């Protein structure tokens, strides 16, 4: 009867924490890594690029994966071989070419990690890792070290912003991380804190049970293997945008990005006769069909409101350079890469007052209250526009903000992942 009750609990949408704690502890304890063993002359760093190897959606996570993969490709670590790998829910992990997208996965060789190797979950393979958990646990038992990059925990913290299917996949993935991980790498201090809190509250793992490290993101778009090509008529549209003050927003059009709220604020300003421009760069996302129709049917579209729904990095870079500044209006983020990229261009930024955005200490970033209403946000936008040009010129007239590059990002990650083999001083620090 007790077993039947436990099985019934597992079928609930949200499995009770007591069941999760028991299953995670049992699974972690069942993995007994080998001690000692062979000492190979060369070990392998297996780098998971499962998602981007099939499709580059152009999101922030894809930029991180693409940029670090490019840096890894030109890296040399004494005693280590670096090999990208990919899998699908049905296909096992295989060694894949550096170029993405890859060839047919079925034609690539299966991998056989050895003791002393390291698996780095660079891509967010939420729907893949749980399907291969048993095999990865077996690898770990043979001496493989497993590390994962944690970009954010938003699908668990704010499930209302995501599809139920994605939330379920993410929940299974983070449980697999709790079972398998020897180390994780978080993209910001708030994400690290969220991760440690979740491990403790949900799975009963104390801070340090899974060492969590933080590594910086890079600000240099040109080092992230940027996509090229400009939309038809882009030059004329860019000239129109440059006439007057224009704010740029970057990111998939999804609920948490704050596009609807910011559009409200700009429509409020337009009703007052202001001619400020709002430029959106982001692919159509989920749960925003009404907002997308509102944008495409807006009477100010292609006059004061612009939406590039499939812009290349070349086009994005041109918009960064020529817009007055960048608005980061997200209700939650793991980092906020567009904010960093804007600072890399010496641009002024108006950001929602979130802890993750407060990590940028520069006069180029100003904030509006997280719970501000339309009128208050509109006033903040007007004040920011008035100050943006002045702040930008001020910043460019003094020493440029020291921002991390993608090489520095990789140096930080590898220095913490392979502390006995890799150091920035040895392999070159670029900042």
How do residues 199-223 score in pLDDT, each as one tens digit?
999 999 988 999 999 999 999 888 8
pLDDT higher than threshold 90 for residue 96: yes
pLDDT higher than threshold 60 for residue 381: yes
Work out the pLDDT band at 389, boundaries 50, 70, 90: low
Find out if CATH 3.40.50 is the number for domain 43-218+407-427: yes
Work out the pLDDT band at 196, boundaries 50, 70, 90: very high
Q: What is the pLDDT of residue 422?
A: 83
The residue ranges of every structural domain in the chain are 43-218+407-427, 226-397
pLDDT higher than threshold 90 for residue 225: no
Q: What is the pLDDT of residue 122?
A: 98
Percent of the chain with pLDDT over 90: 76
43-218+407-427 and 226-397 agree in CATH topology:
yes
Query: Per residue in 4-24, pLDDT tens?
Result: 544 554 454 456 677 788 899
Work out the pLDDT band at 428, boundaries 50, 70, 90: very low
Q: What is the pLDDT of residue 387?
A: 87
| Class of domain 226-397 as given by CATH | alpha beta
Q: What is the pLDDT of residue 399?
A: 40
Instruction: Please write down the HEC assignment for all residues of the chain.
Output: CHHHHHHHHHCCCCCCHHHHHHHHHHHHHHCCCCCCCCCCCCEEEEEECCCCCCCCCCCHHHHHHHHHHHHHHCCCCCCEEEEEEECCCCCCCEECCCCCCCCCHHHCCECCCCCCCEEEECCCCCCCHHHHHHHHHHHHHCCCEEEEEECCCHHHHCHHHCCHHHHHHHHHHHHHHHHHCCEEEECCHHHHHHHHHHHHHHHCCCCCCCCEEECCCCCCHHHCCCCCCCCCCHHHHHHHHHCCCEEEEECCECHHHCHHHHHHHHHHHHHCCCCCEEEEECCECCCCHHHHHHHHCCCCECCCEEEECCCCHHHHHHHHHHCCEEEECCCCCCCCHHHHHHHHCCCEEEEECCHHHHHCCCCCEEEECCCCCHHHHHHHHHHHHHHHHHHHHHHHHCCCCCCCCHHHHHHHHHHHHCCCCCCHHHHCCCC
């Amino acid at each position: 009867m007790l077993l039947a009750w436990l099985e019934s609990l597992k079928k609930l949408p949200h499995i009770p924490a007591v069941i999760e704690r028991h299953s995670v502890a049992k699974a972690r304890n069942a993995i007994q890594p080998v001690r000692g063993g062979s000492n190979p002359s060369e070990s392998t760093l297996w780098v998971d690029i499962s998602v981007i190897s099939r499709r580059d959606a152009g999101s922030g996570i894809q930029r991180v994966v693409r940029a670090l993969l490019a840096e890894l490709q030109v890296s040399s670590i004494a005693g280590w071989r670096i090999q990208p790998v990919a899998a699908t829910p049905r296909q096992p992990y295989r060694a894949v070419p550096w170029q993405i997208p890859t060839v047919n996965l079925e034609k690539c060789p299966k991998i056989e990690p050895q003791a002393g190797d390291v698996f780095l979950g660079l891509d967010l393979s939420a729907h893949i890792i749980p399907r291969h958990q048993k095999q990865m646990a077996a690898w770990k038992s043979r001496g493989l070290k497993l590390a994962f990059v944690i970009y954010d925990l938003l699908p668990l913290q704010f499930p209302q912003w995501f599809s139920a299917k994605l939330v379920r996949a993410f929940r299974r993935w983070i449980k697999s991380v709790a079972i398998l991980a020897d180390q994780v790498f978080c993209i910001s201090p708030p994400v690290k804190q969220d991760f440690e809190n979740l491990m403790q509250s949900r799975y009963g793992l104390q801070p340090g049970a899974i060492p969590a490290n933080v590594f910086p993101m890079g600000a240099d778009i040109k080092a992230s293997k940027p996509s090229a090509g400009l939309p038809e008529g882009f030059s004329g549209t860019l000239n129109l945008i440059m006439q007057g003050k224009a704010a740029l927003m970057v990111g998939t059009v999804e609920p948490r990005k704050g596009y609807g709220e910011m559009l409200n604020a700009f429509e409020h300003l337009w009703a007052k006769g202001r001619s400020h421009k709002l430029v959106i760069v982001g692919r159509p996302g989920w749960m925003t069909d009404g907002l997308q129709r509102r944008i495409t049917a807006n009477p100010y579209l292609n006059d004061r409101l612009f939406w590039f729904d499939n812009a290349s990095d070349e086009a994005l870079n041109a918009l960064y350079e020529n817009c007055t500044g960048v608005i980061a209006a997200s209700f939650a983020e793991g980092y906020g890469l567009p904010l960093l990229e804007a600072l890399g261009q010496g641009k002024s930024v108006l950001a929602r007052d979130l802890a993750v955005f407060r990590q940028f200490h520069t006069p180029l970033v100003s904030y509006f209250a997280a719970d501000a209403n339309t009128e208050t946000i509109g006033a903040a936008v007007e004040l920011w526009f008035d100050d943006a040009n002045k702040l930008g010129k001020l910043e460019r007239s003094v020493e440029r903000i020291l921002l991390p590059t993608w090489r520095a990002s990789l140096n930080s990650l590898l220095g913490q992942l392979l502390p006995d083999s890799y150091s920035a001083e040895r392999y070159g620090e670029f900042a």
